[in-house]
C-alpha cells in the first residue's frame, strides 16, 4: 500500500475508535466531511483492503495498443 493509503487507514481507525472526529479527519486528510463518511462506510464494511486503489494491478485505459507499439519499435530499430 502507498503511504497515502496507510495514512488514510490510520486516520479512519482513529475515527472508528472515537479518538478523532470525522471533521478533524477531513481536515487531516484534505477531504470533505462527506467524503470521510463515505470512506468510513467502506472501511467498516470491508476493512483496510477497501481503502486501496481499485485499479491496482490492472492495465491502464490509456495504454498504447500493442500492435501500434510494436510498429513504432520496428520503425525505430530500422533507423
**How much of the chain is helix, strand and coil, in % rounded to 5?**
65, 0, 35
Q: Residue 12 is part of which domain span?
A: 3-78
Per residue in 34-48, pLDDT (tens digit) is 999 999 999 999 888
Instruction: Name residues whose C-beta falls within 8 Å of residue 23's C-beta, 6 or more positions apart in sequence.
Output: 33
What is the per-residue pLDDT for 51?
A: 86
Per residue in 60-78, pLDDT (tens digit) is 889 999 999 999 999 999 9
Total tally of structural domains belonging to the chain: 1
What is the per-residue pLDDT for 34?
A: 96
Amino acid at each position: 500500500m502507498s503511504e497515502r493509503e496507510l495514512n488514510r487507514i490510520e486516520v479512519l481507525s482513529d475515527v472508528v475508535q472515537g479518538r478523532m472526529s470525522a471533521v478533524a479527519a477531513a481536515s487531516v486528510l484534505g477531504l470533505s466531511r462527506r467524503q470521510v463518511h463515505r470512506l468510513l462506510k467502506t472501511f467498516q464494511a470491508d476493512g483496510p483492503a477497501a481503502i486501496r486503489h481499485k485499479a491496482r494491478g490492472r492495465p491502464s485505459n490509456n495504454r498504447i495498443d500493442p500492435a501500434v507499439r510494436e510498429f513504432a519499435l520496428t520503425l525505430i530499430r530500422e533507423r
